[in-house]
Amino acid sequence: MPPDFLKDDVWFGATMVQLPNERLLINAPRWTSPYGRKHLLMNGASFLHTTRGYRVMYPLREINRQAYVTDGERREYGEYGTHLNYYAYGQAGMSAAVTKANTVILGAPGLLQWTGGIVSLSFDPNDSNANMNKLPIANTYNTKELGPDDYFGYSVGSGIFDRTGKTLYVAGAPRNNIATGQVLVFKPPTEELDSLKIMAKVKGTQSGSYFGASVCCTDINEDGFDDLLVGAPTFVNSDDWLPFDQGAVYVYLTTVKDSGFVLDDAGYVTGSGTNGAWFGNSISDLGDIDGDGFQDVAIGAPWEDDGIGAVYIYRGTLEGLSNKNVQRIQPAGARGFGWSIAKGVDVDNNNCSDLAIGAHNSQTSYLYRCVPTMQVDAVIRVPDAINLPQNTTNFTAVFCVSAPVTQLWRNVEINIIGTIEADPESNRALISGDSEISFHLTPGQEICHEQTIEINPTADLSKPIALIFQLEPDELMKENSTVFLSNAARLSENSTLKTSFLIQLVKDCGEDLICTPWLIMTLKAFHSPHIPGSNTTLGLRVSVTNKAEPAYGARVEILQTLPLKRIPSECTLKKLALLCEINNLLRDETITWDLELDDSNEKYQVDVMHFHVNAELIDPLLRNVTDEAKKELMLEVIPRSDFSVSGKSMPNDTISVLRESLATGANVSFKHYFEITNLGPSDAPVLTVEIIPPNRTRIAANISGCERDKATDLSETEVLKCIWKIPAKVSYPVYVPLQMDLSIEGEFLRENNTYNATTVIVVHKKVHGFPNYIYYNVTTTLILEPESFTWKLILVCVLLGLLLLGVIVYIMYKQGFFQRTTHKMLQLQKDKDQQLIQESESSSSHYETDENTQSAGECDDADYHEIQ
């Protein structure tokens, strides 16, 4: 073995966390140690560095826990047997996080046959030595929500989610349920053999999305409780041809209940949405970097733009994350930029978190210093607007720029350039002074400039004159700046950079010179009903028509339950209240505002939903200017989705059952695969599906999102009721693992030889409000192997052989084959010779003497002996 073999490729520095008193924990999750002569155990190692040295820790090195012998009850582990790898390939330190409970949690996704788990190490925050204690490691075999190859612990985090104030652990399992993924929120383990005490869990919605590859716990909406962000870097959101690995980050806001808490889905963000970006591979909490009171985050897309990578900055809001990023960072020459992002830390003491980003493939890291944020608002005031005489030739307008007070950055400053325009369309008015004004602003200041507006007396003044004030930042820190200015600020996204003011010089107010309008307000939906995902638009048009004298200072207050996609220029938004000014609305004129509502984060879990919009006309002088000051509009939303179902049997449509398996009572395993496709146009956040397995089989493993239908508890068939979220234009795979226990069903198969195992899937949908069902079934034919006839065949062959031999012998017997014909022929020859001798003797007896007779007898005897 080469001397550096065990040190190479250990991934030293794969994760790092900072501890109090200048301590740094560096992890090497692929650190290996030899076991025997032929094995290497990839337990992982951690290096705790202090100002005086370092200490190496091996939290998974206990020799008696490298393997684990199970009771065999978890069917998911069947293919691995009962002897499982436990600590052997744990890879502790693949992820790491410091908790508020003074512990460090290390993800060990290789624990227990890659089910995964976490390692907890406690530390003393007041200690500066390299001392840490290992806490009990939960054996995830006893946690039914997890199974082999889930990679639980691939990402870790922690947070405080309820009123108890206790720290809970968070860990992702991105390969759970065919890489659909899930994230568990659970109490810190106290006993090794206890199951995890799960307090909440969230699951991915798309197979293969790797939901849970990254997690981030932070209080986004500043309600005092941590929220959860989950990365799914291989999520696909586009309908384009062959989309892949675009990525998404899901947002879950914590809602505290009397009995605990729930994680409410607040939508997701997708970065650029380009193929191969892996957006969401890393997520980092930056703190409040823009001073709006909400936590902001950085999200990495390390393979965007053919492997260059990018990092996106998103602002936190009351409803979650902003729909659009406020900054995209991509340095020249980087590769894999954004693979890792450190938690925001203020390294230069300007009360603004700085950002460190790793570029994996170019082996570089980048530090970005935070520039504080200032909100700037443009305001136009015309002090004598109402009291201007009819024949005026000029008036004074005040153009102001203000910056609210901020507690974080009191000494920062920003330069603003303001541009003034007077009646740009009709040129009926001119600015007597400079139309461009420079402002140097600090937080808490308001700077104003007076300008005289000259009126062209010969112009048509029946319509109001428009004044426009537009701001543009002249930031101290330029994009190519090489020197960092500690007093520099950047412009906030919440700034009001453009404002306008309409002034009516010719008033149609009657002899009393008091304008009394009569306003008629109407609300009309764009489409009714709105079908999500279709070409319809959710929103309304608000119109106000003046039937009498000009209206000055009136406004409309609109309350809606959904956020707006765009805010009209005459309106300002405060939370969900929209205030729209009616400036100088003349007789018989109409002003309209098109309000498009943003329902991208809305979960339509019922057949019909209604959103109420309330509008109120407000007159500043509290006069009676309308017969219906308040109006309400109900926007109807009806989600509609159609579905298709396909499927097949795995591994084959026909399976041969061996007689040996039948004799031993073994299990016959097979799968039925279904694919449910949402054809759209709307998402299906709550799709109910029933799975009816074959009645002589059992489901071999848990199916995500499914549980036994309690209505069928008394029946022999185990019916599963499943609830899944399937976005529009997305296919959802369903694997139904089945087993037939031959120790129970063997006699049935022996008697029938074949069995058609059919799984039926029933998709519940509604058509025009009425229940409708889609049925689809997949069948696997189990065929019992033909019975073995070897010994019977031998017996039959022997009997046939004996029978054939008997026939042959009989035929030979009939043909005289067994008669001794040679002996008979000799006997006949002898008798014939005797007869000839006798005849010869009788004819010559009177000539022969006794001697001759004797000789003849001797000769006769000699002939006999020769024949014999």
Co-location of 794 and 767 in the same domain: no
Residue 411: CB atoms within 10 Å: 12
Of the three residues 784, 816, 844, the one that is the final residue of a domain is 784
Of the three residues 784, 816, 845, the one that is the final residue of a domain is 784
**Domain housing 147:** 15-203
DSSP 812: H
- Residue 466 lies inside a defined structural domain of this protein: yes
Co-location of 437 and 420 in the same domain: yes
Spatial distance between the Cα atoms of 550 and 546, rounded to a whole number of angstroms: 7
Co-location of 632 and 661 in the same domain: no
Q: Is 864 helix (H, G, I), strand (E, B) or coil?
A: helix
Co-location of 138 and 189 in the same domain: yes
- What is the reported pTM? 0.68
Spatial distance between the Cα atoms of 111 and 42, rounded to a whole number of angstroms: 10
Spatial distance between the Cα atoms of 380 and 583, rounded to a whole number of angstroms: 13
Under 8 Å between Cβ of 639 and 682: yes
Co-location of 109 and 29 in the same domain: yes
- Residue 395 lies inside a defined structural domain of this protein: yes
Co-location of 487 and 387 in the same domain: yes
- Residue 389 lies inside a defined structural domain of this protein: yes
Under 8 Å between Cβ of 185 and 162: no
Spatial distance between the Cα atoms of 406 and 478, rounded to a whole number of angstroms: 23
CATH of the domain at 497: 2.60.40.1460
**What is the pLDDT at residue 786?**
83
Co-location of 693 and 710 in the same domain: yes
Task: Give percent helix, percent strand, percent coil of the chain, each to the nearest 5.
Answer: 15, 45, 45
- Residue 232 lies inside a defined structural domain of this protein: no
Query: Pairing relation of β-strands 590-596 and 577-582?
Result: unpaired
Co-location of 417 and 536 in the same domain: no
Q: 850-867 and 821-843 helices cross at what angle (nearest 10)? A: 170
- Residue 5 lies inside a defined structural domain of this protein: no
**What is the pLDDT at residue 824?**
67
Closest CA to 478 of 371, 373, 402, 375: 371
Co-location of 195 and 59 in the same domain: yes
- Residue 239 lies inside a defined structural domain of this protein: no
Alpha carbon distances (Å) from 734 to 648, 660, 672, 722, 779: 11, 32, 8, 11, 15
Co-location of 632 and 714 in the same domain: no
For the CA atoms of 502, 508, 514, 518, what is the dihedral angle to 10 degrees? -80
Co-location of 53 and 185 in the same domain: yes
**What is the pLDDT at residue 344?**
92
- Residue 768 lies inside a defined structural domain of this protein: yes
Residue matched to tokens 């894999």: 336
202, two tokens: 């969230």
CATH of the domain at 561: 2.60.40.1510
Of the three residues 454, 471, 503, the one that is the final residue of a domain is 503
- Residue 586 lies inside a defined structural domain of this protein: yes
Spatial distance between the Cα atoms of 446 and 415, rounded to a whole number of angstroms: 13
Letter string b/e over residues 606-634, b meaning 16 or more CB atoms within 10 A of that residue's CB: eeebebebebebebeeeeebbeeeebebe
- Whether cis (ω within 30° of 0) applies to the bond prior to 3 is no
Spatial distance between the Cα atoms of 139 and 86, rounded to a whole number of angstroms: 9
* Residue ranges of the chain with per-residue pLDDT less than 50: 1-2, 714, 846-849, 851-868
Co-location of 608 and 660 in the same domain: no
Count of structural domains within the chain: 5
